[in-house]
Amino acid sequence: MKELHLISFNYPYPPSYGGIIDVFYKIKALSDLGIKIHLHCFVDQIPHKIDPEVKAITENLFFYQKRKNPLLYFSGTPFAAAIRDSKALLKNLEKNKAPILFEGLQTTHIIRFLKENNQKLYLRLHNNEAEYYKGLSGSEKNLFKKIIYTIESLKYTGYQKKLLKKFEAVFCLSEKEYHEVESYSKNAHLIHIFHGNPSVKQLDKKGSYFLFHGDLTTADNKRALNETIELFKTLPQYKLVVASDRASEDIKSKISAVENISLTPIETTENLYRLLEAAHANILISYQNSGTKVKLFNTLYNSRFVIINGNITDDPVLTNLCLYGTDMRQIRQHIITSAEKDYHETEKRKNILETSHSDKAKAEEIIKLIFKN
């Protein structure tokens, strides 16, 4: 019987944003292939119940409350890693000597206590965290947050270099991170995002609106939305729907001030799919170069045209399935031209995505690397 400890930076349900989507559908794909998953989750508050969707794909489930100590900002360890520390986790790992898969560098603070444990360690690298926080700092308007993100970036620069060599393998999301890790520690493997989409949807030729969706508490998404709002102010003939469950009052007032833009909640995965299926084109913009964004897969599998800038993916195969703009002027032109086009890309996407980006194929690759003996 093949067993695996998986340490998640958060409870992976519902799978409603980037990293957690990858975690949940990775667990599901591994479980479907017979791997027994002992899932360990760091959370703000321990939930009162376990969702049946998670219970069905895990052997055991353990929760650990994140530490709430602001003094940890002054630690030499990155704050996101320092708050995810637990003696109970160490005891639970010692009870079963299965390999350990860490989801993101922020879950790796306990590694210093595992030296004599003889368990094989693996890392899912969700981001080059030093670059990620540097990008957040660049997008952030609040001076205090900008300083915090800059310090966190500097901490991660040393932290990730020190740790990467300790893993049997590092599973990277993007070409960029694969080459960075491989040049440094020679243990990199490129395993693209787990996204949960079994097949490309067959859709009508036309949708009803342009769609922007995402978590509007992050600096990168807020900046991208502000740019998109300014764009649609100059395109009053086209309707933009902004879908998010986390919009500030400031964002709400900006949206309500523009007649052709509306805000709608996402709430459930099913509702997100309905929004995607009704959209004629999707606007995906980022100012952080951190590999392929998971929402790109959701739009390519479940919607029509996808308009992106250069930071949404570094995979040329995926870029070729999208309308690519190097700047907002080109993005604007793609909005205008796609509005007049019928959508006929389903078969092309099926041939590419269902062959090279299926969750099952990625899970088989991870199993081969972890359980090679």
DSSP 310-356: TTS---HHHHTTSEE-SSHHHHHHHHHHHHHSPP--HHHHHHHHHHH
Q: The CATH number of the domain where 70 resides is what?
A: 3.40.50.2000
- Within a domain: 201: no
Same structural domain for residues 30 and 157?
yes
Residues 44-81 have pLDDT tens digits of: 999 989 999 999 999 999 999 999 888 888 889 999 99
Same structural domain for residues 182 and 302?
no
Task: Please give the pLDDT value at position 116.
Answer: 66
pLDDT exceeds cutoff 90 at 343: yes
The residue segments making up the domain with residue 317 are 209-354
pLDDT bucket at 174, cuts 50 / 70 / 90 = confident
pLDDT exceeds cutoff 90 at 301: yes
pLDDT exceeds cutoff 90 at 202: yes
**pTM confidence score:** 0.83
CA distance 58 to 69: 31
Pair 12, 61: CB distance under 8 Å: no
Cis peptide before 15 (omega within 30 of 0): no
Task: Please give the pLDDT value at position 68.
Answer: 87
Count of domains for the chain: 2
Same structural domain for residues 188 and 328?
no
Same structural domain for residues 184 and 260?
no
- Within a domain: 204: no
pLDDT exceeds cutoff 70 at 373: no
Task: Please give the pLDDT value at position 19.
Answer: 86
CA distance 149 to 100: 29
The terminus-to-terminus CA distance of the chain in angstroms comes to: 13
Task: Please give the pLDDT value at position 87.
Answer: 94
pLDDT bucket at 242, cuts 50 / 70 / 90 = very high
Q: Please give the mean pLDDT across all residues of the chain.
A: 92
Same structural domain for residues 350 and 361?
no
* Nearest one of 221, 220, 219 to 243, comparing CA atoms: 221
